[in-house]
């Protein structure tokens, strides 16, 4: 849509924030229209998120995937941490709202697998760039200066480092794991002076977590 591109082209803040806000609004709508609506809303937000990423790409130069040993190590380490500390602190939200496609589509295994694949692809390919652009590129720097593009990604600002990670953490039911995850990803951005390694690390964490959820039936992580 030309209108959306015009909005993105005219505002560096809007192009980094608006797609995430739309994605988050669709996330809040999951399950609000019956139990199985969470699956259809996830499909919708994944498709909308992928489309917005395509529209954002020309205007967000730092949104480029990059791979390094640090990205792989952080991605694996965050996964181990995420499942390792579960059960040692209270979660926020209702655990009953977590995904359980086998319970919801037990008589239609094909549909259950469809939504498992959609969830895995969405959390691996769509969520990481949207969230990393918003939190690690935009919000982290915007808290320091409104002309955030003038601030190098490698600059360490202790207050913004903590506040941004806390906000990221409480976006998740597993808030403590989310905070630690946010700290790790922001450290990676600062260390590498680019966003791509954090996007890759985030994708690795989400992919392995998705495999773990399906393999172990640990649906509380979804």
pLDDT of residue 137 exceeding 90, the answer is yes
What secondary structure letter does DSSP report for 140? H
Q: Would 58 be classed as within a structural domain?
A: no
Tokens for 41?
């809303």
Q: Would 122 be classed as within a structural domain?
A: yes
pLDDT of residue 178: 97
Q: What is the DSSP string of 10-29?
A: H-HHHHHHHHHHHHHHHHHH
Q: Would 186 be classed as within a structural domain?
A: yes
Q: Is 103 exposed, middle or buried (0-12, 13-18, 19+ CB in 10 A)?
A: exposed
Q: Would 32 be classed as within a structural domain?
A: no
Write out pLDDT tens, residues 31-89: 778 778 899 999 999 999 999 999 999 999 999 999 999 999 999 999 999 999 999 99
pTM of the shown model: 0.94
Q: Would 175 be classed as within a structural domain?
A: yes
pLDDT of residue 146: 95
Write out pLDDT tens, residues 77-109: 999 999 999 999 999 875 545 788 988 887 788
Any residues with CB less than 8 A from the CB of 198 and at least 6 apart, and which?
Answer: 71, 74, 128, 132, 136, 185, 186, 188, 189, 192
| Structural domain boundaries enclosing 165 | 66-221
pLDDT of residue 34: 77
pLDDT of residue 51: 95
Any residues with CB less than 8 A from the CB of 155 and at least 6 apart, and which?
Answer: 141, 144, 190
Q: Would 162 be classed as within a structural domain?
A: yes
Write out pLDDT tens, residues 175-216: 999 999 999 999 999 999 999 999 999 999 999 999 999 999
Q: How many structural domains are present in the chain? A: 1
């Amino acid at each position: 849509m030309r209108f959306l591109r015009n909005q993105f082209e005219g505002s560096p803040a809007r192009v980094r924030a608006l797609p995430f806000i739309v994605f988050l609004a669709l996330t809040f709508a999951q399950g609000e229209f019956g139990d199985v609506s969470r699956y259809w809303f996830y499909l919708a937000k994944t498709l909308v998120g992928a489309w917005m990423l395509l529209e954002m790409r020309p205007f967000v130069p730092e949104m480029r995937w990059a791979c390094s040993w640090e990205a792989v190590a952080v991605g694996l380490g965050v996964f181990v941490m995420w499942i390792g500390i579960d059960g040692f602190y209270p979660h926020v939200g209702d655990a009953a709202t977590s995904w359980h496609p086998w319970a919801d589509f037990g008589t239609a295994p094909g549909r259950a697998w469809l939504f498992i694949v959609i969830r895995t692809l969405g959390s691996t390919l769509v969520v990481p760039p949207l969230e990393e652009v918003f939190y690690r590129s935009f919000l982290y720097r915007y808290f320091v200066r409104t002309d955030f593009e003038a601030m190098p990604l490698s600059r360490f600002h202790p207050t913004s480092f903590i506040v941004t990670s806390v906000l990221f953490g409480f976006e998740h039911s597993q808030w403590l794991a989310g905070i630690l995850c946010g700290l790790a990803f922001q450290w990676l951005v600062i260390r590498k002076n680019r966003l791509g390694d954090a996007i890759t690390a985030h994708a690795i964490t989400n992919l392995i977590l998705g495999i773990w959820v399906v393999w172990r039936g640990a649906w509380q992580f979804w």
